[in-house]
A = this chain, B = another copy of it.
Amino acid sequence: MADREPVDCIIHAGWVVPVNPAGAVLERHSLVIQGQRILAVLPWRDALRRYRAQRTFRRSRHVLIPGLINAHTHAAMTLFRGFADDLPLTQWLRDRIWPAEQRVIGRRFARDGVRLAIAEMLRGGITCFSDMYYLPTVTADEACAAGVRAMIGIRVLDTALGFGATPEDTLEGGLSLADRCQREPLLHCSLAPYAPEALSDHVLGQLRRLSSDHRLRVHSHVHETRGDIAQAQRREGRRPLAQLQAAGLLNGNLVAVHMNHLTAAERQTVARAGLHVVHCPRSNLKLASGFCPVTELLAEGVNVALGTDGAASNNSLDLLGEMRTAALLAKGLSGDPTAVSAGTALRMATLNGARALGLDTEIGSLEAGKQADCVAINLDRLQAVPLHHVLPQLVYATQREQVSDVWVAGHQLLNRGRLTTLDGVSVLRQTRRWQRRLAQPSWFDAIRHWLLK
């Protein structure tokens, strides 16, 4: 026994679902972690024979899966959860969300909103998120402090939208963030235009150059609603995808979010160009934005990942829930109960997410050499028994509360349901403060109301 190799950590799990190879369920397997990385995935008995760990976790009633990857969110908006529901999209955005944003957006709002989002995401097994919102440097700070992996979107806006800075300013500020992300092991950054139809061809051209020069993902809403497309057709005389194509942006660097309205020809273009699609099923349903043709895109070989979108339109950052909704919705819409199987849904929430972010050599599956981003889920609960098959149970009968432990790059961020890097009580307290502030009508609102009446 003396010659066992010393390692940092071993997790003995009832089951390991590595995601790659697809469909594999390894019973009574252990994950061995050295530093930030996975050293081995092997049966309990071999792990015990070969390794001596500083920390050992026994999770025999748990399944260990790769950390979930939330490929599209607006983390700070979590403070707007439930702020305005059951409204038409434009009324929701223009009359409720945008005025409220103008009233409260600032460093403290972003900090507290992102903290709440990260706390919720970690407790639900999300180890990596791709964000797009105001004040991305604050989001980066909070992700670093919490130890979670993140791709921070550098906002790219056209001056026409009246946000003050020129697109050049935005990009320059953003590129200093990109430099910083290169130094931080858990941070990555992307260029994040809100949507192509909001940008001039000039800015789109700059985006293309920056994306290819700096090898950055372009993270954008694309074809979310019929209205978006109609607006582009009025303004540009073509659909947003055509606009992106003309600007040279339809390629493997593009992460196109939503994609609810696609013609058959557009689907083929998407498949040929190799861009990535992020499906946000609950947000799309709630805002009645349309349906992403997931089954068709997958059949054509397109990489489809999953996102929660912001909590203002969802209202949860719950990727287990999105997995289930994605699987159910695809079956319902296609009329085929074999569409988006449990295994496919889990892959969308893990390895496909990693591919979308260009991180699939590092995360997205439990394989030796990859980063140790993983999640233990307790299957020994009344709502998750009997356990006939692990993979479908995970997707169709598992809830967030069953997530017991989360590791990112070998660090444990959730320990039997308790956050280790964030103080849940203080997050709750700060959130209640913002709740009160958002409930109060401000002078700004009063004046706006007076001017508009």
Chain B: which residue is nearest A335 at the CB level? B288
Contact: B86 with A341, CB < 8 Å? yes
- Is B123 touching A383 in the complex (CB atoms < 8 A)? yes
Contact-size category for A: 35 or more
Which one of B89, B311, B397 contacts A315 once the chains associate, using CB atoms below 8 Å? B397
Residue of B nearest to A287 (CB): B337
With the chains together, A123 CA to B315 CA distance in Å?
22
Which residues of the partner chain B approach A438 to less than 8 Å between Cβ atoms? Answer: 386, 388
Stretch at the interface among A139-147, A173-181, A350-358, A424-432: A424-432
Residues A385 and B81 in contact, CB atoms below 8 Å apart: yes
A99 at the interface (CB under 8 A from B): no
For A79, the chain B residues whose CB sits under 8 A away are 386
Interface: A200 (CB within 8 A) = no
Known contacts A285-B328, A285-B329; decide if A388 and B81 are in contact (CB<8 Å).
yes
A338: Cβ under 8 A from any B Cβ: yes
Whether the Cβ atoms of B396 and A85 lie closer than 8 Å is yes
A246: interface (CB < 8 Å): no
Is A400 located at the chain interface by the 8 A CB criterion? yes
Hey, what's the 0/1 contact readout for A341-384 against B, CB within 8 Å counting as 1? 11000000000000000000000000000000000000010110
Q: Determine whether the beta carbon of B386 is less than 8 Å from that of A82.
A: yes
Known: A328-B285, A332-B285, A396-B316. A338 touches B385 (CB 8 A): no
| CB of A228, distance to nearest CB on chain B (Å) | 14
Inter-subunit contact B336/A288 (CB<8 Å): yes
CB neighbours of A92 from chain B (8 A): 337
- A105 interface residue (CB < 8 Å to B): no
Let me know if A116 is at the binding interface, CB within 8 A.
Answer: yes
**Among candidates B284, B316, B435, residue contacting A383 with C-beta atoms closer than 8 Å:** B316
In whole angstroms, what is the CA distance A291 to B286 when docked? 17
Chain B residue nearest to A318 (CB atoms) is B383
Please give the count of copies of this chain that the complex contains: 2
Rounded to whole angstroms, the CA-CA distance of A315 and B315 in the bound complex is 22
Contact B387 A82 (CB under 8 A): yes
* Complex: A315 Cα to B381 Cα, angstroms: 14
Q: Taking each of A334, A337, A341, A428, which has the highest tally of chain B beta carbons within 10 Å of its own beta carbon?
A: A337
A94 part of interface (Cβ distance < 8 Å): no
B328–A286 contact, CB under 8 A? yes
> Is A392's beta carbon under 8 Å from chain B?
yes
Contact with B along A276-290 (1 / 0, CB 8 A): 000000101111101
Given A81-B385, A286-B328, A385-B428 in contact, is the A86-B338 Cβ separation under 8 Å?
yes
Q: Known interface pairs A87-B337, A282-B328. Does A82 touch B388 (Cβ–Cβ under 8 Å)?
A: yes
Q: Is A331 an interface residue (CB 8 A)?
A: yes
Q: Do A86 and B342 touch across chains, with their CB atoms under 8 A apart? A: yes
Contacts of A300 in B (CB 8 A): none
A396 nearest in chain B by CB position: B315
Give Cα A81–Cα B380 distance, bound, in whole angstroms: 14
Q: Is the CB of B382 within 8 A of A116?
A: yes
A82–B331 CA distance with the chains assembled, in angstroms? 16
User: From residue A42, how far is it (CB to closest CB) to chain B in Å?
Assistant: 25
For A311, A314, A388, A399, the residue with the greatest tally of chain B CB atoms inside 10 Å of its CB is A388
A411 vs chain B, min Cβ distance (A)? 20
A290, A397, A438 pick with most chain B CB within 10 angstroms: A397
Of the A-B pairs whose beta carbons lie under 8 Å apart in the complex, a sample of 27, sorted by A's number, is A81-B393, A82-B386, A82-B387, A82-B388, A82-B393, A82-B396, A83-B388, A85-B341, A85-B389, A87-B337, A87-B338, A88-B338, A123-B382, A282-B328, A284-B332, A285-B332, A286-B328, A287-B331, A288-B334, A315-B393, A315-B396, A315-B397, A318-B383, A329-B332, A383-B400, A386-B431, A388-B435
10 cross-chain pairs, A with B, having the tightest CB-CB distances, nearest first:
A386-B435, A285-B328, A401-B401, A285-B332, A85-B392, A315-B396, A86-B341, A315-B397, A288-B337, A288-B331
Q: Which residues of A contact B (CB under 8 A)?
A: 79, 81-89, 92, 116, 119-120, 123-124, 282, 284-288, 290-291, 311, 314-318, 325, 327-329, 331-332, 334-339, 341-342, 380, 382-383, 385-389, 392-393, 396-397, 399-401, 424, 427-428, 431-432, 434-435, 438-439
